[in-house]
Amino acid sequence: MSDDELTTRVQDSGLQLAWQLFPEDVRAAVALARRQGAVLAAPFAANEEPWPPMQPGERL
Amino acid sequence: MAADAAGRTAVNPALHWCTATALGAAIAARRLSPVTLMQELLARIARLDPDHAVFVRLDAEQALAAARQAEDAAMHGRLLGPLHGIPVGVKDIIDVAGLPTTCHSKIRLDAMATRDAGAVARLRQQGAIVIGKLATHEFALGGPSFDLPFPPARNPWNQAHHPGGSSSGSGAGLAAGMFPLALGTDTAGSIRNPASCCGVVGLKPTYGAVSRRGVFPLAFTLDHVGPMARSVADVALLLDAIAGPDDEDAGSIRRPTRPASRDLGRGVRGLRIGYVRHFHEIDMPADPAVAQALDEAARLLAAEGATIVDVRLPDLNLFSAVARTILHSEAWSVHAEWLRTRPQDYARNTRQRLLVGAFIPAGDYLLAQRHRTRLIAAMQDIFRDVDVLLCASAMDPPCRIDDEQATARSYPRQARTPFNVTGHPALAMMAGLSPDGLPVAVQFAGRYNDEATLLRTASAFERAGGWQDRHPLP
């Protein structure tokens, strides 16, 4: 992610002060969030297709 | 043998190692004064706490006053319940009226509680006495931090080592003999981690079984309040005292009122125990001392008459990813405003973890919840075939507390979060010592609302293993 993109994300989240004081913490948080997302996006089981969009009536 | 102020003999030469069950019986029979008990524990705390940092706030004066009232009531035959006169430590994210709930944080140093949390109110109704507020990780997250208003608790087995967390003071204080019972909270293993590291017993009950009213939230769909003690029977005693519905906790459940302690002496003959080997053998290979303790637990339970069967659940790493995504997202919703306006007031550890939630897309949170639905179904399938699960708690013995990399590595290397994701009850307890003399643990999990069978199994293992009588201090 470029610095411009990161700055936009930070502004969207209202975290300008954290970005100013602790930029490395913010970078690490963004990276971890992306890694977690990648794990979740994998199929539930080895023989399955990736997740379809949520279906009508699907309950959480 | 100790004697109380009236010269009556007490129950044990080492009062501080007595179980709450034994202490309660002695108080009820007027063989032990609650004042004697409290004075002895306060003296022990004064001696040991400077090296263990268990207490954020010791409430000695109020505790002694309550002990005097309890003694007077006992002398007049007015026992409030099985916990009459028993000291209990409370993790400092749980409200106790008249004391601040600091969450071990600079941000809440002056946050005075005006009302007892639901679980604390139940404790007091049963006669228990709150002895003080106990160390945690900041907001029950992060890890042991040295940049907070209070130091982190230390492991009584070796003070250079981590006592686990986030209910650190609860685990360390029990292991040091400072109090017989403690309340902890568990969002991703925070009761069972210190129970494992400190060689005591910790139970995360079924989701919703114990009220969370008056408990500072971390992640509202994963948070649990639960009992910690030095014996399985005491954990059952404490669970029976604090469990019950609460209209002020939206996650609270109504369930059968049969006592969790009812089957403690039945043994495991006839039970089917599923052994989840792949968690610690394949998904997240464990330290040899942990693997050996697990195999030995399976062997002992089989010798006691249980049928042990290998079972397979989804990959532990998937449970962990789902738990982390939900935890970070929900925690962000709690902390967003403070992270925006005063990020410098958090410990570095806590800030780094809480910030993650700001960058998790809503789609990922939903996907984690969809995974969760299927993980719950997979767990429920297993429990159609077995009564109890046996698996790892921590994958490693406790690490040094001053080794930041080692403590950070220790948090994901565990098999506790699956049961926060699914809400099933789970218990961790001591199962041996590492070559360095530090506790290693096993974990048992049970069906929803069947803590009785879970505790029955743990009790049988406790008798067979004999580890509950090992203490780190005289």
pLDDT tens for B217-249 read 999 999 999 999 999 999 999 999 999 999 999
Confidence band of A52 (pLDDT split at 50, 70, 90): confident
**Which chain A residues are closer than 8 Å to B355 by Cβ?**
15, 18, 25-26, 28-29
pLDDT at B5 over 80: no
Confidence band of A47 (pLDDT split at 50, 70, 90): low
Residue B394 CA to its chain's centroid (Å) = 14
Which one of B325, B339, B369 has the shortest CB-CB distance to A60?
B369
Cα-only R_g, chain B: 21
Name the more confident of A44 and B339: B339
CB contact under 8 A, B355 and A25: yes
- Residue-wise pLDDT tens digits, B340-356: 999 999 999 999 999 99
pLDDT at B441 over 80: yes
State percent of chain B over pLDDT 70: 97
State percent of chain B over pLDDT 90: 95
B244 closest CA partner among B202, B211, B204: B211
**Sign of torsion, CA B176 B179 B180 B183?**
negative
Closest residue, chain A, to B377 (C-alpha): A60
pLDDT at B387 over 80: yes
- Rounded distance between C-alpha atoms, residue B315 and residue B82, angstroms: 42
Give the mutation candidate from B356, B375, B379 for the A interface (greatest A CB count, under 10 A): B356
| Residues of B belonging to the active site | 91, 166, 190
How far A45 CA lies from chain B's nearest CA (Å)? 8
**Which chain A residues are closer than 8 Å to B326 by Cβ?**
none
Phi-psi region of B427 (alpha: psi -120 to 50; beta: other; left: phi over 0): beta
CB contact under 8 A, B344 and A41: no
Closest residue, chain A, to B351 (C-alpha): A25
Please give the average per-residue pLDDT across B456-468, as a whole number: 96
* DSSP state string for B268-331: STT-EEEE-HHIIIIISPPPHHHHHHHHHHHHHHHHTTPEEEE---S-HHHHHHHHHHHHHHHH
SS3 label, residue B229: strand
**Which chain B residues are closer than 8 Å to A13 by Cβ?**
340, 358-359
**Which chain B residues are closer than 8 Å to A21 by Cβ?**
343-344
Write down the ipTM of this complex: 0.90
Phi-psi region of B164 (alpha: psi -120 to 50; beta: other; left: phi over 0): left
For the whole model, what pTM was predicted? 0.96
Confidence band of B11 (pLDDT split at 50, 70, 90): very low
CB B379 within 8 Å of CB B448: no
Helix H segments across B99-191? Answer: 118-125, 168-175
- Residue-wise pLDDT tens digits, B90-132: 999 999 999 999 999 999 999 999 999 999 999 999 999 999 9
DSSP A14: T
How far A21 CA lies from chain B's nearest CA (Å)? 8
pLDDT at B308 over 80: yes
- Residue-wise pLDDT tens digits, B45-74: 999 999 999 999 999 999 999 999 999 999
Confidence band of B8 (pLDDT split at 50, 70, 90): very low
Confidence band of B13 (pLDDT split at 50, 70, 90): low
pLDDT at B426 over 60: yes
**Which chain A residues are closer than 8 Å to B325 by Cβ?**
36-37, 40
Please give the average per-residue pLDDT across B286-309, as a whole number: 98
Confidence band of A46 (pLDDT split at 50, 70, 90): low
Predicted pLDDT of residue A49? 74
Confidence band of B139 (pLDDT split at 50, 70, 90): very high
Q: Which residues from B are below 8 Å from A when comparing CB atoms? A: 314, 317-318, 321-322, 324-325, 328, 336, 339-341, 343-344, 348, 351-352, 355-361, 364, 366-374
In this structure, the strands spanning B87-91 and B181-185 are parallel
